[in-house]
Amino acid sequence: MELLDGKLVSEKIKLEIAEEAAQFLASTGRKPHLTAILVGNDGGSETYVASKMKNCEKVGFQSSLVRYDNTVTEAELLNKIREINADTGVDGLIVQLPLPKHIDPEKVTETIDYRKDVDGFHPINLGRMVRNLPCFIPATPYGILLMLQAYHIDTTGKHCVVVGRSNIVGTPMSILMARNANPGNCTVTLTHSKTRDLKEQVLQADIVIAAIGKKNFITADMVKPGAIIIDVGINRETSTQTKSGYKLYGDVDFEHVAPKASYITPVPGGVGLMTIVGLLKNTLASAKGEIY
Cα–Cα distance between 34 and 78 in angstroms, integer?
Answer: 18
Quick one: 119 or 222, whose CB is closer to ligand GUN? 119
* Binding residues among 153-172 for ligand GUN as defined by CB under 6 A: 168
Cα–Cα distance between 52 and 39 in angstroms, integer?
Answer: 15
Alpha helices by DSSP H, listed for the chain, are 6-28, 43-58, 74-85, 105-111, 123-130, 139-150, 170-178, 198-203, 254-257, 271-287
> Is residue 39 a contact partner of residue 96, using CB atoms and an 8 Å limit?
yes
Which residue in the list 14, 62, 91, 96 is annotated as catalytic? 96
Q: Note whether 139 binds ligand GUN by CB under 6 A.
A: yes
Cα–Cα distance between 169 and 62 in angstroms, integer?
Answer: 26
Q: In angstroms, give the least distance from the CB of 98 to ligand GUN.
A: 7
* Binding residues among 189-208 for ligand GUN as defined by CB under 6 A: none
Which residue in the list 5, 91, 117, 119 is annotated as catalytic? 119
Complete edge-to-edge strand list for the sheet that includes strand 228-231: 2-3, 263-264, 228-231, 207-210, 159-163, 187-191
Quick one: 206 or 213, whose CB is closer to ligand GUN? 213
Catalytic: 119? yes
Quick one: 112 or 261, whose CB is closer to ligand GUN? 112
Q: In angstroms, give the least distance from the CB of 96 to ligand GUN.
A: 5
Per-residue binder mask for ligand GUN (CB under 6 A), 110-129, x = binder: ---------x----------
Catalytic: 96? yes
> Is residue 224 a contact partner of residue 197, using CB atoms and an 8 Å limit?
no
- The stretch near ligand GUN (CB under 6 A) out of 88-96, 146-154, 212-220, 257-265 is 88-96
**Using CB under 6 A, which of 55, 96, 111, 171 touches ligand GUN?**
96
Distances (CA, A) of 291 to 2, 30, 114, 140, 158: 34, 19, 11, 18, 29
Q: Note whether 220 binds ligand GUN by CB under 6 A.
A: no
The catalytic residues are 52, 96, 119
Residues of the shown chain interacting with ligand GUN in the complex, contacts defined by CB under 6 A? 94-97, 119, 139-140, 168
